[in-house]
Structure 1
Amino acid sequence: MARGSAGETALQKNLRILQAFDAKTPYLTLTEITERAGLPKSTTHRLLAELGREGLVERWPDRTYRLGARLYELASRAPGAFGLREVARPFLIQVQSVVRQHTQLAVLAGTDVLYIERVSARDSAINHTIIGGRIPAYASSFGIAMLAHASDETVQAVVSSGFRAFTSATIRSESELRAVLARVQADGCAVLPGHVHPDSTGVAVPVYGPHGAVYAAIGVVVPNDGASPKPIIEILKRASANITRALVRAMAGER
């Protein structure tokens, strides 16, 4: 059923269609896109045709659609997350070669964490996140590592978005969130055992850019086996410092 698209611009309607896709459902039928976008089926069909002509979506022989390669082409020209990903990847590889578990890079995207890079081994711990996937910032060690240095406005937006329990350990209230953020700000790292999956622990530290601003978080997902995270934290902090220096150099070079 249409969500009331009257008064929206063509751009807003096109964005509805593009946002219908996500990392878990990269292929959608016309009916599925129509339902997710909340647009009339005739409008969806017409806009898909236009997006297809520009290479922003692709139609497959089985009549499903996926996001087009041109989106990646355009995004790869942008600064920010994609430049950060390129700068950080060598250091993620270094961390993963020592820890031998999922090593990830993430940024804040509204009230969520967006994972933009990962290096893994086949026998790594259970991890419910994927590259290009999102998770609420309060549930993720990466999100907590960044929120600990975010503005109160950003933290309040996370609180206002509500809390959903992934496990019995997931943060469920504003008071709990703020207590955790205060501890993480003091420690310089976030360790969240069993917050997304009971068998996994997320360990993350912030990555800084120019003028001390937090740009991202680097971290690992390890088994929730009670082992001390201290050795991993030290490895992550060194990697974060290296990424920060490389990021500052890269940004200075851009200017």
Structure 2
Amino acid sequence: MEIGTKNDTEKNKLLLEKEKERQELEHVIDVLKDRAIDREDKNKQLDESNEKKDIKIEQLREKLENMLILKEEFLIKISVLEEQNSSSSETNEKQQNEIKYLEGELARLENELQIIKYKYELQNKAIYGLTTEIKQQKVEMNAHFNNLNKKLEMQSEESAKVITMLENFSGAKDDGRNVNIQTEQHVTFSLNQKGGHTGVSAERKVVPVRIFNPQIRSNGKFSISLSKRTAVNRKDQQKAE
């Protein structure tokens, strides 16, 4: 396989991987956006429900105040009637019946007041609980959404850098020869046609490397030097001299 084709394959593979990761993140964000829309709809419904409950609570509060006033009036009437009875030498049956009636109404009023107070407390707790839950859900959703957005931005920046790097190296030329890409921590062997010498270098970053096919001699052998002074095949070198 030619070097250029191999590089293109590696480039395409890397780009596909980055694109797949980006699409997965975008899919997650789209799902979260849909959930956020649903949550907003539910929040709107809850807000409307809370407004209705606020109205109901206000009605209960007014009713409670009115019944407390009525209770106070009953107590005053009962107190007056009892005082009249105690000061009178004769038993007033009409007053006694009125006292019993007022006491019955007062007991009924007390029961109704307890129910109203209980409903009032429940409504307040329900609204407080819903409001707290909505706020908490909004905070969690926004935090999760922001984290995914940051990941997507980082992924996009990383992909853009990789694409730029690959495009720069794939378009590079070195005296008309192909350029190979060596990645981090790879040892690079470069061959020089002029002297048949071999240069060895250890690179920890992406570098262009000159690649070419060495010349084959008439005897079917070719020489590759391990250093600038020592050749692999001294006999061929002596014959050539």
State if a TM-score over 0.5 links the two structures: no
Bin the TM-score by the shorter chain. Answer: under 0.3
Which one has a bigger Cα radius of gyration?
2
More strand by share: 1
Q: Which has the higher contact order (CA 8 A, sep 6+)?
A: 2
Structure having the higher helix fraction is 2
With normalisation by structure 2, the TM-score equals 0.21
